[in-house]
Structure 1
Amino acid sequence: MRWRRKINMIKLVAADMDGTLLNSKKEISPNLFETIYKLKDKNIKFVVASGRQYYNLLKIFEDIKDDLIFISDNGSIVFEKGKNILISEIDEKKLVEPIELIRNIDNAYPILCGVNSAYAENDNPEFIYNAKMYYEHLKIVPNILDAIKLDKICKIAVYDGSGAETNSYPLLKKFNKDLLVCLSGENWVDFMNLDINKGKAIKKLQEMYKITHEECMAFGDYLNDYEMMQECKHSYAMANAHPKLKEICNYEAKSNDEDGVIVAISDYLNKNYK
C-alpha cells in the first residue's frame, strides 16, 4: 500500500486571548489544555499571542506554562520556558509626547508597560479594574514617566472608557511615524516600536525553529492580530472578529463563545492524524 505524503503539516499554532481563546465572560474553555496537549503529542508548538502582560498570561496558564510560548504586549516581549527571547524597548524620547496627549483625552488613561511591571498614574476605580484584567503586575506612580527610570518600557497602552476606535485612536494615530499605533480592543490602543507586532514575533519564531509560513496556523479577532495572520497561511478569523480582519484571513472559525479555536484545531487533527 502506498501512503500519501502529507504536505505542509502544521508545526506551530498561535492564538490571541481576548475574543479568541477567552469567551465573552473572559473564561478559558475547560477543553483548551487537553487540546494543547494533543498538539504537543504531535510536536506542534502552541503560542499564546496577546496584548496582555506576560505575568497575566503566566497566571492563566500556570499549570502548562512550560509547554507554551508567550508573545505578550502585542509582540514586544516573548518568553519560552521562563527565558526571554525578545524585548523591544522603546526610546524614552518617543514616550513623552504621546503620554502628554493621552493625559488630555477625556476618559483615556495611559499605562507604560515594562518587562517587570506595568505603570499607571491614575487610580480611577473603573480604569484600575479594567487594567488589572490584563496587567497582573501594575504599579501606581505619581508621574508615569518616572517608570522610564525603573524598567525597560516596551509598550504604551491606553485604556479608553469611551471606546478607543472613535475617541482616542483618531487623535493618537498621528504618532504612527515614530511608533506603531494600533487598536488592540474595543477600549484599548497600543503603541510599540515600528518594527514590532505579533506578526514580527511569529516571524522570529519561524526563523528560530525553521518553520515555514505554510506550516503555521493562527487565530484572532482584532486588528492587533492583522500581521500575525499575514505570517500564517492557515489564518482563522473568529466569527466575532473585526470585519477588517476577516477580509485578510483564509478561513473563519466559530466564535469565541463556541470554542472556535478548539473546534478548528480538532478538525485539523482529525483529518490529518488518523
Structure 2
Amino acid sequence: MIKLIATDLDATFLRADKTFNEDLLSTVLTKLKTFDGYFVVATGNHVQRVATYFANFSGQYQLIANNGAEVVLDGIIQNVKSLPEHSLSVILSLVEQLKTAPQMGLVYTAADRSFMLASQAPEDPAIVKKANDFFENLIVVDRIEQIDVPVLKATVVVQPEETPEFMQAVRLMLPHQVHVTTSGYGAIDIVNIDVNKANALQYLANKLSIEPDEIMAFGDGLNDMEMLDFVGHPYAMPNSDPALFDHDFNVAVSDNEHDGVLNTILEVLNTQKE
C-alpha cells in the first residue's frame, strides 16, 4: 500500500507558469487521508518559496527543501546539512574559471536568506530581477567572509555545454565533501556530500515509520535520480531528462502541463483498497 507520495516541483508538478490544479490536489489529499498517507514536496527550492506556491494548503504537506539540505516535518525544520565553510571559496574560484559568465551569478543559499558576490552580480536588470524573484532575501556582498550563516546550497547556471566539465571539476576539487547535481538546462546545485532527495526522504520515512516500497515519487531531472531509485514506485515525467528513461522507472500519464503527477496519483490510488 502506498503511504507516502513525494514529488519534485519544477517541470514535474508545476506548470511552466508555476501554477497547478488546486482542485485536483484537494482531491488527492482527501484520498490520501483515507490511507493515513502523506504528501511530500521534494524540491531544490527554499522553504519560503514553496510556501507561496502552496499558500492554500498550509499544513497539508511535508517538505524536502534545497534538494534535501532541509526537511520540514509538521512545520518544524530539521535534518539541516550545510556546505563545508572552506568549500565556498573553492566553488567561487571554479566559477571564475568558466569561459562564459553564469547567467544569474553564483548564489549561496542559507536558511532564510541568499548571498551573491558583487563580482558575480549580473548587469542586466531583467536577470537581476529574476535572481531576486527566485532567491529569498538576496544580499550582495563583497567578500565570502561577509557570509555569517551556514550555507545550505551553492547554485550557478552555466552554459549547457560547460555543465559536465564544471560539475566534474567541483567533484575533483572537493572530493567526499560535496554532492553536485543538476536539474537540467545548465542549472547546477552544490550541497553537502550527504545531501540528496533520497537521503532526506529516507530520514522522513524513518520518522513516519514508512518503508521504501510504500512510497511513490515523481521527478524529471538528474537531481531526482537518487529519490526515484530509492522508492518502490518511481515515476519519471514524459518531459524528463532522457537519462531517466535509461532506468526502469514508470512514466506518468502526462507531462507537467497536463496535471501528470496528480492524474497518475489518482489512477493508482483509485485501485488501492483501504
Number of the residue aligned with 1:130: 130
Number of the residue aligned with 2:91: 98
The within-5 A match list for 1:38-117 is 38-105=31-98, 106-108=100-102, 109-117=105-113
Deviation at 1:36, TM superposition (A): 2.6
Distance 1:144 1:249, change over 3 A: farther
Partners in 1 of 2:52 and 2:218 — Cα distance? 21
Partners in 1 of 2:183 and 2:146 — Cα distance? 22
Number of the residue aligned with 1:199: 198
Number of the residue aligned with 1:158: 156
Tell me, yes or no, if the aligned pair for 1:131 and 1:159 is still in contact at 8 Å. Answer: no
User: How far does the alpha carbon of each residue in 1:176-227 deviate from its partner, in whole angstroms, 9 at most, with x for none?
Assistant: 2231111123141000111110010011112111211110000000000000
Number of the residue aligned with 1:6: none
Number of the residue aligned with 1:19: 11
Deviation at 1:29, TM superposition (A): 2.1
Runs of 4+ residues over 3 Å off in structure 1: none
Distance 1:103 1:144, change over 3 A: farther
Q: Percent identity?
A: 28
Tell me, yes or no, if the aligned pair for 1:119 and 1:147 is still in contact at 8 Å. Answer: no
Partners in 2 of 1:126 and 1:241 — Cα distance? 28
Q: TM-score by structure 2 length?
A: 0.88
Deviation at 1:144, TM superposition (A): 5.5
Number of the residue aligned with 1:223: 222
Number of the residue aligned with 1:171: 166
Deviation at 1:169, TM superposition (A): 4.2
Note if 1:270 corresponds to 2:265: no
Distance 1:170 1:126, change over 3 A: farther
Partners in 1 of 2:218 and 2:11 — Cα distance? 10
Q: Of 20, 23, 42, which aligns to 1:28?
A: 20
Number of the residue aligned with 1:4: none
User: How far does the alpha carbon of each residue in 1:91-131 deviate from its partner, in whole angstroms, 9 at most, with x for none?
Assistant: 11111111122134223121101011111231543433433
Deviation at 1:138, TM superposition (A): 2.8
Partners in 1 of 2:79 and 2:146 — Cα distance? 20
Letter in 1 for 2:130: N
Number of the residue aligned with 2:114: 118
Tell me, yes or no, if the aligned pair for 1:53 and 1:134 is still in contact at 8 Å. Answer: no
Letter in 2 for 1:183: T
Letter in 2 for 1:222: G
Q: TM-score by structure 1 length?
A: 0.88
Partners in 2 of 1:168 and 1:101 — Cα distance? 12
Deviation at 1:231, TM superposition (A): 1.2
Letter in 2 for 1:120: M
Deviation at 1:35, TM superposition (A): 1.9
Partners in 2 of 1:147 and 1:58 — Cα distance? 28
Tell me, yes or no, if the aligned pair for 1:65 and 1:81 is still in contact at 8 Å. Answer: no
RMSD, matched Cα: 1.9
Letter in 2 for 1:267: E
Letter in 2 for 1:80: L
Number of the residue aligned with 1:248: 247
Tell me, yes or no, if the aligned pair for 1:103 and 1:110 is still in contact at 8 Å. Answer: no
Q: Which runs of 5+ in 2 are unaligned?
A: none
